[in-house]
Amino acid sequence: MPQFDMILLTPAQVQGAEVLEHTAGSPAREGGGDETYRCGSCKTKLLVNVAHHDAHGVVVKCGKCGRFNTEPHHHHH
């Protein structure tokens, strides 16, 4: 069950991007894989047990701290 901290983006960086709105208390997406992604600022779990392709390129606005996050482009070995 790999777990990753997401990369923080500024509001200017997410202009024009499709933003997934997270609500505090429940993941923005859940299920379909084994990767969990946490907010890069407050460590809230934003994507839980998702497949890698469900996290790739996604921008999530954290419902707890309001920061924008994107996946960290980690590499599989």
45 binds Zn ion (CB under 5 A): no
Binding part of the chain for Zn ion, among 4-12, 13-21, 24-32, 36-44 by CB under 5 A, reads 36-44
64 binds Zn ion (CB under 5 A): yes
Q: Is 71:50 a contact under the CB 8 Å cutoff?
A: no
Helix, strand, or coil here: 59? strand
> How many helices and strands (H and E) does the chain possess?
1, 8
65 binds Zn ion (CB under 5 A): yes
How many residues at the interface with Zn ion, by CB under 5 A? 7
Half-sphere exposure (CA, 13 Å, Cβ side) for 23? 2
- Tell me which residues touch Zn ion (CB under 5 A): 39, 41-42, 44, 62, 64-65
